[in-house]
Amino acid sequence: MPGFTHLHTVSGFSLRYGASHPERLAERAAERGMDALALTDRDTLAGTVRFAKACAKAGVRPLFGAELAVEEYEPVRQERRRAPVRGGAFIDESTPRVTFLARDGARGWADLCRLVTAVHTAADTPLLTWAGNHGDGLTVLLGPDSDVGRALAAGGLAL
């Protein structure tokens, strides 16, 4: 598939959401003739080093990103359920999520790292506020779990 690039791919570093090893993702992209592949794990950049090495070996250009929860403009207080393990953390699947991709080389990577760090150092649930996002080196992808995607799915957004 020359000219085609997956911009939202998760690996086993996205706990509960992905299972593939970064090396296998790069190999499959090369087998399919892809020039580039994005790794956009959920809430983490932990797999990026392995992914970058695997892409270099496979001859595929690596793109880096992360899928993060984004705070809504008017947060709605909801009951959250506990994870089904003893002492588990809260699971809130209702929070809108978007994918951030690094662009512009080192600047985009630095902005992405700052963004993921900000999410993990938040006092409460790892939510990202739009007003605090100063990532000029980032591209935002709105998917089905974003508030825009949800509005489109519900038929409530006229384009």
Looking at residue 73, its pLDDT comes to 46
Handedness of CA 141, 94, 124, 49 (dihedral sign): negative
Which SS3 state, helix, strand or coil, does residue 130 take? helix
Q: Is the confidence at residue 58, as pLDDT, over 60?
A: yes
Report how far residue 125's alpha carbon sits from residue 20's, in angstroms, rounded to the nearest whole number: 27
Looking at residue 86, its pLDDT comes to 56
Looking at residue 19, its pLDDT comes to 94
Percent of the chain at pLDDT exceeding 70: 73
Tens-place pLDDT, residues 28-41: 999 999 999 999 99
Q: Is the confidence at residue 158, as pLDDT, over 90?
A: no
Please state, in angstroms and as integers, the Cα–Cα distance from residue 105 to each residue in 10, 109, 136, following that order. Answer: 21, 6, 12
Q: Enumerate domains of the chain plus CATH numbers.
A: 22-74+90-154 (3.20.20.140)
Pairing type for strands 81-82 and 90-91 reads: antiparallel
For the record, the structure tokens of 80 come out as: 């959250």
**Neighbouring C-alpha atoms within 13 Å toward the C-beta of 131:** 3
Rg (CA), the chain: 17
Q: Is the confidence at residue 101, as pLDDT, over 80?
A: yes
- Residue bearing the bigger pLDDT, 129 or 70: 70
- Identify the CA nearest to 129 among candidates 80, 95, 101, 92: 95
- Residue bearing the bigger pLDDT, 83 or 3: 3
> pLDDT grade, residue 57 (50/70/90)?
very high
For the record, the structure tokens of 61 come out as: 């250009």
- Identify the CA nearest to 12 among candidates 3, 20, 2, 23: 20
Looking at residue 96, its pLDDT comes to 80
* Residue 93: burial class (beta carbons within 10 Å; 0-12, 13-18, 19+): exposed
Residue listed under structure tokens 């595929």:
60
